[in-house]
């Protein structure tokens, strides 16, 4: 089970936590120095480097999967906005995409992004705008069927205005949710990042209509000073009928 690293020097009792301090270099903004210092002292950043993940975000999906168990051997997974690829790395291992777990079903991981992403063992990477017409059909063709999991760690480019950024990421999450309705198998799971800020009501209502359970979670790997949280919707109810209602 993924545990939150302490980031402490445990070689001796009573020793103080060791931190890297960064001086502000000429020409570098104070905010950049603070970001660099936080990165250098972040235990998840250090752990990602040690374990070969492409970023600390890998531990967010690990922790969510430890709780909700949606990345199971044999599952077909779509990662929207997959760059730099940490979530695909986790998914490929957990769904047994490389067939390393003897006797277990072999899964499929499909990563899509607007930019080219370096290949990941066990994952198939594509350059694709998931909002483009026909994107859902392309994904189902690549998968050879529908998906069991659609996940997204996407965030809209920051404007510097908190409420604007909140609305942008909610809109992006809603678009990802509608995409999942087109590609998910009945019983499937949707996982996406959102930002707390008061505009999540319609998204929550939408997901509760289409899934049997909807949870809002802030995993330990999510920084405490961040407003991000993750929605985990399980038990996709399936396609709408001709009247536009979800089948019972």
Q: What is the pLDDT of residues 101-151, one digit of tens each?
A: 999 999 999 999 999 999 999 999 999 999 999 999 999 999 999 999 999
Q: What is the pTM for the complete model shown?
A: 0.80
Question: Using CA atoms, how far apart are residues 152 and 150, in angstroms rounded to an integer?
Answer: 7
| Residue 147: inside a domain | yes
Place of tokens 């309705």: 181
Total count of domains within the chain: 1
Q: Is the predicted pLDDT of residue 84 greater than 60, yes or no? A: yes
Consult the annotation and say whether 160 binds a ligand: no
pLDDT band at 224 (very low <50, low <70, confident <90, very high): confident
Per DSSP bridges, beta strands 184-195 and 147-152 are parallel
Q: Which pLDDT score is estimated for 248?
A: 52
Q: Which pLDDT score is estimated for 9?
A: 39
Question: Using CA atoms, how far apart are residues 54 and 66, in angstroms rounded to an integer?
Answer: 20
Higher per-residue confidence, 159 vs 236:
236
User: Domain of 140?
Assistant: 55-236
| Residue 173: inside a domain | yes
The tally of CA atoms less than 13 A away on the side-chain side of residue 75 is: 25
- Taking CA atoms, 152 is separated from 42, 96, 142, 193, in Å, by 23, 20, 18, 6
Q: What is the pLDDT of residues 8-18, one digit of tens each?
A: 333 333 434 44
pLDDT band at 226 (very low <50, low <70, confident <90, very high): confident
Give the residue numbers marked as catalytic: 193
Consult the annotation and say whether 113 binds a ligand: yes
Consult the annotation and say whether 42 binds a ligand: no
| Residue 69: inside a domain | yes
Mean pLDDT, all residues of the chain: 84
What percentage of the chain reaches a pLDDT higher than 90? 62
Q: What's the CATH code of the domain at 163?
A: 3.40.50.150
| Residue 168: inside a domain | yes
Question: Using CA atoms, how far apart are residues 4 and 57, in angstroms rounded to an integer?
Answer: 13
| Residue 28: inside a domain | no
Consult the annotation and say whether 148 binds a ligand: no
Consult the annotation and say whether 74 binds a ligand: no
Q: What is the DSSP letter of 245?
A: P
């Amino acid at each position: 089970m993924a545990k939150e690293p302490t980031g402490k020097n445990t070689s001796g009792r009573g020793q103080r936590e060791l931190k890297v301090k960064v001086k502000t270099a000429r020409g570098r903004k104070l905010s950049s120095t603070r970001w660099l210092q936080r990165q250098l002292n972040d235990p998840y950043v250090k752990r990602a480097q040690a374990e070969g993940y492409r970023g600390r975000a890998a531990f967010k999906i690990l922790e969510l999967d430890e709780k909700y168990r949606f990345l199971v051997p044999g599952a077909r997974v779509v990662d929207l906005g997959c760059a730099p690829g940490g979530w695909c790395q986790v998914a490929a291992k957990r769904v047994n995409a490389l067939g390393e777990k003897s006797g277990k079903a072999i899964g499929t991981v499909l990563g899509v992004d607007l930019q080219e992403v370096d290949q990941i063992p066990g994952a198939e990477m594509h350059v694709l705008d998931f909002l483009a017409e026909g994107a859902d059909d392309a994904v189902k063709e690549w998968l050879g069927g529908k998906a069991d999991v659609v996940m997204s760690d996407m965030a809209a480019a920051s404007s510097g205005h908190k409420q604007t950024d909140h609305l942008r990421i909610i809109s992006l999450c809603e678009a990802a949710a509608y995409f999942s309705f087109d590609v998910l198998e009945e019983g499937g799971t949707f996982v996406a990042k959102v930002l707390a800020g008061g505009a999540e009501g319609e998204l929550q209502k939408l997901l509760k209509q289409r899934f049997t359970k909807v949870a809002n979670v802030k995993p330990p790997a999510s920084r405490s000073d961040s407003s991000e949280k993750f929605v985990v919707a399980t038990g996709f109810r399936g396609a709408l009928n001709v009247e536009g209602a979800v089948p019972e």
